Chain A
C-alpha cells in the first residue's frame, strides 16, 4: 500500500526558513510526480508545488514562487520543500501527495498525514 510520511514542520519566525521532508513507501517513487498542498487555518486546500518524475521539472503557486524550492531524492524516496522568507500567510498544515496519471486525467492519492508550519514571532 502506498504511503507518505511528512516531517519538518515547526515554529519559525517571519522571514525564517524551514525544510519539509516527505518519504514515500509502497510504490516506485521515481515514477511519480509529487506535490505539496497546504491548508491554512480556516481556509481551503491550496496547491503549492509539483515536481515531475522524469526530468524533475518543477512548478509553483504564485504565492510561493521565488521563496519555496521543491526537490527530490529518488534514491531515498524523498521529496523536500525548502521554504525561505516565510510569512504569516504561509502558516498551514502541509501535505505531501502523490499524483497518479491515467488516460483521462490525473489525481492526488495518497496523501500524507501532514506537517504543521507555524510562522510567528
Chain B
C-alpha cells in the first residue's frame, strides 16, 4: 500500500499569511496527487489535481507543486474563507486510494 503523510496536522495563521502544507508519499507516484478542501458540514472540494493543475473556479492563490514523493499545497495570501481542513490524496494505485491525515488551518 502507498502511504501518504501530511504535515503539519494543524496550523494557526492570520489573514494574508502565506501557508504551505506538505504531503509525502511512501513511494514514487509521479503526479497522481490531488488536494481537497473540507469545511465542516460540507462535501470536500477539489482544489488541485495532478499535483499542480488548478481546478476550474478555484482562486489562483492556491498552488500545488511537486512530483514523485514530495508535494506541497501553498496558499499565497490566506483569506477568511480558506480556514478549513485540507487533504492530499494519491490515486497512483489501489487499493487503497489513500488520503493524507488532513491539515486543519485555523485562525490565529
Contacts and interface: CB of A to CB of B under 8 A. Distances in A.
Interface of A: 35, 37, 39, 44-47, 50, 59-62, 95, 99-100, 102, 104-114
B87 A45 contact: yes
Contacts of A35: 97
B8 interface: no
Interface residues of B, number: 28
B99 A46 contact: yes
Interface string B89-107: 1010011111111100000
Q: Which 5 A-B pairs have the closest CB atoms?
A: A105-B50, A107-B49, A111-B43, A109-B46, A47-B97
Nearest to A102: B50
A108 B96 contact: no
A108 B36 contact: yes
Given A102-B49, A104-B31, A95 B97 contact: no
A5 to B, nearest CB: 11
Given A47-B89, A59-B96, A108-B36, 11 more contacts: A44-B100, A44-B101, A45-B38, A45-B87, A104-B50, A105-B33, A107-B34, A108-B46, A111-B44, A112-B43, A114-B43
A61 B97 CA distance: 8
Nearest to A61: B96
Contacts of A112: 43
A61 B98 CA distance: 10
B31 A61 contact: no
Contacts of A59: 94-96
